[in-house]
Structure 1
Amino acid sequence: MTDDPRRIGDNIRAARRARGLSLEVTAGLIGRSKGWLSKIENGLLRLERRSDIAALAEALEVSADALLGMPAPEIRPDRRRFSLVRMQTVLLESAPDDPPDISARPIEFLRTELERADQALRKADYVTVVQLLPQVIGELYVHTIGPDREDALRLLIRACGSDGTCTLRHLGETNLAWISGERARQAADLLSDPVWTGAAAFGRAHARSSTNRPRALMTSRQAADTLEPHVGDDRFAREVYGMLRLSAALACEVDGDHAGARDNAAEAARIAEPLGDSPDAWELFGPANVGVWQTSLAVEAGEPGEALTYADSVNPRALASGNRRAALCIERARAHAMFGHDSRAVHDLRQAERLSPQQVHNHPLIRDLIADLLTRAPGRDLRGLAWRMNLA
């Protein structure tokens, strides 16, 4: 347990002073006032938007991760039951065109194992995911040089680009998540299928925090444009295309392009409507998940009322994933906090934690929100949540 957990404002002040910049100059570089930045640094005002964090990181010539801060050591009993060493080894020491020297079980068995991992991820059961994925990925690498090559490459894009990046990001392992996304891209290059190339692009786009403006995220619109002529009536292709449009919307919002964000989100909603919500949809693309994204985009645009309207329109039962239901609770909490509805925000955060604790505990914006709420509404429920996150 740390005695003095750092806030985002503390990190901004340290980075600004290291660069030898004044409050006035730094604020001017991002088009903000000196008073606004002073309040941020002193914890009197919380950064609500990823676009502001990205702009500050650029002005101070540091990564956004440095401003957000790495997750502090936490009391996480699950880490006693699993290790990421095997995942790290298979991602760093092997690749789709450089398989490990191991025997591989039949491709259909590995498909079943990957489905088990995917279902575990939807339940936020990271212990099972981390136990299954390394062996599955290693054996799929082996199949890339045999008669099942194309099937193995598709499954690798799912294993590394979807399940791998999501799991590692939620566990706070963003660098390893990026490598997992890169392995998916390599598999897609070998497959040479525009739809699967798009699927791999989505995984890479979300391996790192969007506040870093990672190139893979910021080029999501181009990836969607490239895929669009190949979509047709194929459901999977439409799901991939829709998720890339949502990624493009987030990229626009991070860049402060609210109109572009709305246009891309509207296109995703148009694609999702006739598909409906299916538990088998890739990345759960459908009207409900689009609603979660629209909630988040409205929060980023500084429109909490609009965000809550979107959130209220989503039927959580239509989201066949604890992670996505937790994401909805997280964004609703952020919107309530922007209105000063502290008790409602705490209620939503506790619900999110029950659904996907690691996702909440390793979310830098939520860590900062909770630290801020502690100064305003330090009730028992909030103190318990803060303690589990090493913030109190």
Structure 2
Amino acid sequence: MGKRVRAARRAKGMNIATLAGLIGRSKGWMSMVENGQTPLDKRQDIAAIAEVLEVSADTILGEPADDINARLPSVNLVRLREVLHEYSLDDPPDVPVRPLDQTAADLRTLDDQLRRTDYDAMMRTLPGVLDELHAGAHLPEPARSEALRQLITACGLAVIVMRHFGHSDLAWISGDRSRQAAVWLGDPVWDAAAAYQRAHARSSANRSRALLATPRIVDELEPHIGDDPMAHQVHGMLRLSAALAQQVSGDHDEARRQAEEAARLAARFEIPDDPNAWELFGVSNVGVWRTTLAVEAGDPAAAMRISDQVNTAALASKNRKAALHMDRFRALHMLGRDKLAGRELQKAERLSVAQVRHSPLIQETVRDMTAIKDPVLRGVAWRMGVI
């Protein structure tokens, strides 16, 4: 077993001291394991070594390891669940509300943490901000409207986190709370922004009514856009959502038309990929979406061609970069190039672990590939709990 550990470590290009440190063991202990001088007989150690070296446990054991499981990423959702379940706009928590420029600063920090996939840091702040903004919805104007806009933003962040950790129930509650806040606010642009969040609270495979409504909602938004850059960005993201809605409904021509319109909108902006754009609407993010649409249309060659043109350096979010690699993984699998597909999935996992390991579509594709002997792919499959 020690020889297999050494081989996997060298294949990864990692020195023995680094491996020992990452699993919480001494360099001397690790050296004795590799030299066969001490047994590797604890499931916890085997699992930890396999995770760090990005291989499956059976690669270390040299035989099936059905009783050794990787740790799925998790985050403490107790407080967030409490806020969403216990309170509503009609019945807010009895908490003081700080000046709203302070909660706005918190939201900017939370957005940055989401882009870096620092979910633990988010959960230390997001529940309290949601508490305050529920209460803030009862302040006199203009603070009331500002609190509602911020609440829609906060709920949008919660939707993404909950989706990434497989909690579609909480994602849906967050999306619906966003919708309720938009109703209270009465602003067509923010109403459309909330509709976008609700549309993506569940996987597109569910063909939720919220997603299927986006073609109508984006058309209703157009008369209200004006000169506000955010309104144009919301418009663009809803065009992409409408394209996805049409794609999962089987209308490929209309999906293509919606995506092309989104691309035209993105090309009009002075900054092609503004890191401050709403939901990162821009040329590169449109490219990520069009890659997804090509995969959903069953055209993997087009998906690879489109994805090759995406400037990933311009994507200001590890989540969006991971999404691109996930779609390239699916496209390459469709093309029968499973070894390369495994490398794409590994790249995605390194960027956004929870997003990859909790994705039902990725899980299903990996499950279909478990007969593949490629160690990289088997390592990802093991860490996902598929094998």
TM-score (norm 1): 0.79
Write out aligned runs for 1:141-290 (5 A). 141-147=134-140, 148-160=143-155, 162-275=156-269, 276-290=272-286
* 1:45-75 CA-partner distances (Å, limit 9, x unpaired): xxxxxxxxxxxxxxxxxxxxxxxxxxxx974
Tell me which amino acid in the other structure corresponds to 2:151: L
Determine the C-alpha separation between the residues in 2 that align with 1:115 and 1:101.
24
Determine the C-alpha separation between the residues in 2 that align with 1:314 and 1:97.
44
Write out aligned runs for 1:1-392 (5 A). 75-76=70-71, 79=74, 82-147=75-140, 148-160=143-155, 162-275=156-269, 276-375=272-371, 377-392=372-387
Determine the C-alpha separation between the residues in 2 that align with 1:191 and 1:115.
21
Determine the C-alpha separation between the residues in 1 that align with 2:117 and 2:262.
26
* 1:122-164 CA-partner distances (Å, limit 9, x unpaired): 111111122221110011111111131111000000100x211
Determine the C-alpha separation between the residues in 2 that align with 1:356 and 1:362.
10
Secondary structure at 1:149 match in 2: helix
Secondary structure at 1:373 match in 2: coil
Secondary structure at 1:101 match in 2: coil
Unaligned ranges ≥5, structure 1? 1-72
- The match for 1:39 is none
Determine the C-alpha separation between the residues in 2 that align with 1:74 and 1:277.
40
Tell me which amino acid in the other structure corresponds to 1:271: L
* 1:191-250 CA-partner distances (Å, limit 9, x unpaired): 100000000000000001111110000000111011011112221000001111100100
* 1:2-26 CA-partner distances (Å, limit 9, x unpaired): xxxxxxxxxxxxxxxxxxxxxxxxx
Determine the C-alpha separation between the residues in 2 that align with 1:378 and 1:327.
25
Secondary structure at 1:95 match in 2: coil
Determine the C-alpha separation between the residues in 2 that align with 1:75 and 1:238.
43
Unaligned ranges ≥5, structure 2? 1-67
Determine the C-alpha separation between the residues in 1 that align with 2:144 and 2:90.
11
Determine if contact 1:218/1:251 at 8 Å carries over to the other structure. yes
Determine if contact 1:74/1:389 at 8 Å carries over to the other structure. no
Determine if contact 1:97/1:144 at 8 Å carries over to the other structure. no
**RMSD over equivalenced CA pairs, Å:** 1.4
Secondary structure at 2:89 match in 1: coil
Determine if contact 2:73/2:353 at 8 Å carries over to the other structure. no
Tell me which amino acid in the other structure corresponds to 2:377: L
* Count of residue pairs the alignment pairs up: 316
Question: CA offset at residue 110 of structure 1?
Answer: 1.0
Change (3 A) 1:373 1:139: same
Determine if contact 2:72/2:383 at 8 Å carries over to the other structure. no
- The match for 1:24 is none
* 1:343-390 CA-partner distances (Å, limit 9, x unpaired): 110000000000001010011111121122221x22221222112111
Determine if contact 2:339/2:377 at 8 Å carries over to the other structure. no
Determine if contact 1:164/1:177 at 8 Å carries over to the other structure. yes
Secondary structure at 1:253 match in 2: helix
Determine the C-alpha separation between the residues in 2 that align with 1:341 and 1:327.
19
Secondary structure at 2:368 match in 1: helix
Determine the C-alpha separation between the residues in 1 that align with 2:70 and 2:277.
34
Change (3 A) 1:280 1:259: same
Structure number, greater radius of gyration: 2
Secondary structure at 1:374 match in 2: coil
Identical-residue share of aligned pairs (%): 51
Determine if contact 1:221/1:248 at 8 Å carries over to the other structure. yes
